[in-house]
Amino acid sequence: MQQLMAGRILLVTGGTQGLGRAVAEAAAREGAAGVAIVGRSAEKAETALAAIRAAALEAGGERAQDAQFDALAIIADLSVPGEAERAVAETVGRFGRIDSLVNAAGATSRGGLLDTTRELLEEHLNLNVVVPFMTMQGAVADMTRRGAPGTILNVISMSMHGGQPYLAPYVASKAGLAGLTRNVAYAHRFDRIRINGLNIGWTATPGEAVTQRTFHGADDGWLERASAEQPMGRLGQPDEIADAIVFLLSDRSGVVTGSIIDWDQNVPGAYDQ
């Protein structure tokens, strides 16, 4: 353990499952003093909190049993106006500050240009752009108020480069988040607040399994078949991506800010013929 997050307070949206939960656990293992996770399900939140505390114990022995480590679950539907702001306020209220923020929550429903309703488009823009905007606004306001540096990581997507025809609202929203990430990084670089984005590729999460079954009629063998078709013989794993995110949140990533980094095994713009 390198203690990359030593003493830091981290807020993770979408932190009760999948990649968000993996980030929260990785941060706990890397010495975070406090981790707040946001999700809709109280049951998933309790399971995630147990795993986060276990990760802190694994890394720091009795650290997770005393006042040096704390974990908080915020039950919220981020699609509801005001809930993103409440998540930031509750984190600051519990821990006194936010040092790092990860926006991992988002919408991934299907829809092409001709069959996407205004409601579906607005759902994607709300969860994938408006919510990160508001959580960044709250986190950066806390950091600048204290005159303290900080780090933010927005989970974006390889699809922001263009994506599949059936992901039109998703692509529009993730491309918007990429632009927002660069804008805010530039605006607050002299506040020493570093803000980066990670374009993740196809990842093996419980949420992806639901997506494949719901929208693509996948059966129980979909993951094995999909893995066999990938260059590395498997899909990306949440714990691998979480390690990359924690690195980008930490001082070990140096002065990097405003970067949108592709984290995938396929290369945009490259072709066999």
CA distances from 217 to 213, 220, 223 (A): 5, 10, 13
From the CB of residue 29, how many other CB atoms can be counted at a distance below 10 Å?
24
Position 221, amino acid: G
Rounded distance between C-alpha atoms, residue 73 and residue 102, angstroms: 15
Q: Say which of 166, 170, 186, 271 is annotated catalytic.
A: 170
Q: Residue 58 in 3-state DSSP?
A: helix
Q: Any catalytic annotation for residue 186? A: no
Catalytic residue ranges: 170
